[in-house]
Amino acid sequence: AQKVTQAQTEISVVEKEDVTLDCVYETRDTTYYLFWYKQPPSGELVFLIRRNSFDEQNEISGRYSWNFQKSTSSFNFTITASQVVDSAVYFCALSDLGTSYDKVIFGPGTSLSVIP
Amino acid sequence: EPEVTQTPSHQVTQMGQEVILRCVPISNHLYFYWYRQILGQKVEFLVSFYNNEISEKSEIFDDQFSVERPDGSNFTLKIRSTKLEDSAMYFCASSPVRSDGYTFGSGTRLTVV
């Protein structure tokens, strides 16, 4: 069965620190997709990235970077030089062939607080 | 940037009443979804919709729920007889292709009293 684990429930960092949010997933399929979403205090869900299982290249987008490691079933998210605006709940998510890719399974989320 | 629009942003309803949550997906998207998030909990899949029919639904999506795309632009979620436990944030989403990154709407907070 598919599962997404985000072991860090809450993280607090001081502004300008780097922070890594962990994500571990479970799936029996060889083809799957991984996602990260941000939910700021205003409540909306903001898409950050999609990665397919055949692409293990790490991705960098500005201060954000993602490290995908199939060997450990992890898809970790790092924010460099964090800012107060990064304070949000971050969700890691998975869809796979078992769900016909129609359903995205969300992890429980990590609440990040960036303190000025 | 194209948006998914949801109305209303907040709805309060009495237990047992019917509610309809409305969504306008991005115009060239083909796949539509409803998710919900009970306060402080994870985001849960309800239903996916493609080619004018439900393609997948979760255990949560029982006979009290229905979805419809009544015209070329709207996508609605109806809860026939609301229960207290239906109180949640309901998110509509759309995507151009299956398994692409969804664009979510800003959500409708449903409060059942």
Closest in A50, A91, A107 to B100, CB measured: A50
What are B8-50's pLDDT values in tens digits?
Answer: 999 999 999 999 999 999 998 999 999 999 988 889 999 999 9
- Among chain A residues, the shortest Cα distance to B103 is held by A47
* Test the B interface: residue of A103, A105, A111 with most B CBs within 10 Å: A103
* B99 and chain A in contact, CB less than 8 A: yes
Residue B90 near residue B110 (C-beta atoms within 8 A) = yes
* pLDDT tens-place string over residues B45-103: 999 999 899 999 999 999 999 999 988 789 999 999 999 999 999 999 999 887 677 88
The residue type of A1 is A
Exposure on the CB side of residue B35, measured as CA atoms within 13 A: 23
